[in-house]
């Protein structure tokens, strides 16, 4: 209250603030809001003939009428949620170990090890997985050498490969917020929990997880958004059945020249991610300001 009052009273101060906020405002307006408005307008028109367009909802109607687009949409959402959950399940013990069990140098080393894969680009990491998983790849050869498989084993080009790639790609974005939030948990609280007769399960459930909730929520939001919007990993690891919604948008824009339905799909993806994040926050009883701040 005080702050806003002082802003409105002092004219020069207000101008200064505006000037300071200018880069942010310009960035938001020119690079976020304006393109989205344009995208929305493009999505609301229909091509009549060469260079002629008319207002229409056909692009959205088409999305609902064609089961293919629907299926891809739902599939992408479900797989993204699953990948997020998997990342959390794998990431939580790792973060707990780094934040609470390790001490001193070992802690930094472990944290660094989580970070190192991210020094190379996503493309290179994905190709790394392809080298490991492909029929003539490292794992297949190892299995044959060890006598566990008779012939070459193909592990690429299926949903499991996509999942592996997605979880691997987003692991860091789960571990970082979790480590920082677990770091802030006082050890004495955990000890007190045990002193009062709790076991590992009850202490984790009643003390560690409630405390870590903002970190879990923000980690999940970031991972979910990254996964939902990922193009490279599903495309390269998924092969002929990959079917990811971003791929669908790319195809509409680039190979079909159909900017109208591409824009509509883009908007639908935006709505999907917003709704799922909102529902997730409601279910976990978190607020966005708490999670981000």
Q: Report the interface residues with another protein, using CB under 8 A.
A: 30-31, 34-35, 38, 50-51, 66, 68, 71-72, 134-136, 154, 156-157, 235, 239-241, 243, 248, 251, 253-258
User: To the nearest whole angstrom, how small is the minimum distance from the Cβ of residue 186 to another protein?
Assistant: 47
Cβ proximity to another protein: between 57 and 131 the closer is: 131
The rounded distance, in Å, linking the Cα atoms of 247 and 164 is: 18
Cβ proximity to another protein: between 51 and 197 the closer is: 51
User: To the nearest whole angstrom, how small is the minimum distance from the Cβ of residue 128 to another protein?
Assistant: 15
For 221, other C-beta atoms within 10 Å of its C-beta total: 22
Cβ proximity to another protein: between 240 and 285 the closer is: 240
User: To the nearest whole angstrom, how small is the minimum distance from the Cβ of residue 273 to another protein?
Assistant: 21
Rounded to 10 degrees, what is the CA torsion of 85, 89, 95, 96? 130
For 205, other C-beta atoms within 10 Å of its C-beta total: 12
Sort 67 into a burial class: Cβ within 10 Å, 0-12 / 13-18 / 19+: exposed
Cβ proximity to another protein: between 39 and 94 the closer is: 39
Cβ proximity to another protein: between 205 and 256 the closer is: 256
Q: What is the DSSP letter of 16?
A: H
User: To the nearest whole angstrom, how small is the minimum distance from the Cβ of residue 149 to another protein?
Assistant: 16
User: To the nearest whole angstrom, how small is the minimum distance from the Cβ of residue 124 to another protein?
Assistant: 15
Cβ proximity to another protein: between 122 and 154 the closer is: 154
Cβ proximity to another protein: between 102 and 153 the closer is: 153
Task: Give the closest residue to 126 by CA, choosing from 235, 240, 248.
Answer: 235
Phi–psi pair at 5, nearest 5 degrees = -65, -45
User: To the nearest whole angstrom, how small is the minimum distance from the Cβ of residue 230 to another protein?
Assistant: 16
User: To the nearest whole angstrom, how small is the minimum distance from the Cβ of residue 152 to another protein?
Assistant: 8
User: To the nearest whole angstrom, how small is the minimum distance from the Cβ of residue 150 to another protein?
Assistant: 15
Please, are residues 174 and 91 in contact by the beta-carbon 8 Å criterion? Answer: yes
Cβ proximity to another protein: between 186 and 241 the closer is: 241
Task: Give the closest residue to 211 by CA, choosing from 169, 178, 247.
Answer: 178
> How much is the CA Rg of the chain, to the nearest whole Å?
24
Task: Give the closest residue to 235 by CA, choosing from 161, 152, 153.
Answer: 161
Tokens, residue 136: 């003539």
Tokens, residue 7: 């802003």
C-alpha distances (whole Å) from 257 to each of 67, 254, 267 are 21, 6, 17
Q: Please enumerate in sequence order all residues whose Cβ is within 8 A of that of 48, keeping only pairs 6 or more positions apart, or say none.
A: 54
């Amino acid at each position: 209250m005080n702050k806003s009052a002082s802003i409105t009273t002092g004219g020069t101060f207000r101008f200064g603030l505006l000037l300071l906020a200018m880069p942010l405002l310009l960035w938001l307006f020119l690079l976020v809001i304006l393109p989205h408005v344009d995208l929305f307008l493009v999505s609301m028109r229909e091509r009549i003939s060469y260079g002629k367009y008319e207002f229409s909802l056909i692009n959205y109607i088409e999305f609902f009428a064609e089961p293919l687009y629907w299926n891809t949409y739902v599939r992408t959402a479900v797989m993204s949620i699953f990948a997020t959950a998997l990342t959390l399940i794998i990431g939580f013990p790792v973060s707990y170990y780094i934040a609470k069990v390790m001490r001193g140098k070992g802690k930094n080393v472990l944290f660094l090890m989580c970070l190192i894969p991210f020094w190379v680009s996503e493309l290179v990491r994905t190709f790394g997985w392809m080298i490991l998983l492909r029929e003539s790849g490292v794992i297949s050869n190892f299995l044959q050498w060890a006598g566990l498989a008779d012939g070459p084993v193909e592990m690429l080009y299926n949903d499991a490969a996509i999942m592996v790639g997605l979880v691997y790609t987003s692991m860091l974005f789960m571990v970082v917020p979790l480590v920082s939030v677990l770091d802030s948990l006082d050890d004495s609280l955990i000890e007190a929990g045990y002193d009062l007769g709790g076991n590992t399960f009850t202490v984790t459930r009643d003390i560690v997880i409630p405390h870590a909730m903002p970190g879990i929520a923000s980690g999940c939001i970031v991972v979910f958004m990254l996964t939902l919007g990922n193009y490279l990993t599903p495309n390269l690891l998924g092969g002929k059945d990959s079917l990811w919604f971003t791929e669908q948008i790319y195809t509409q824009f680039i190979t079909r020249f159909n900017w109208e339905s591409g824009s509509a799909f883009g908007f639908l993806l935006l709505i999907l991610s917003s709704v799922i994040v909102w529902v997730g926050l409601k279910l976990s009883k978190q607020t966005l300001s708490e999670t981000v701040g």
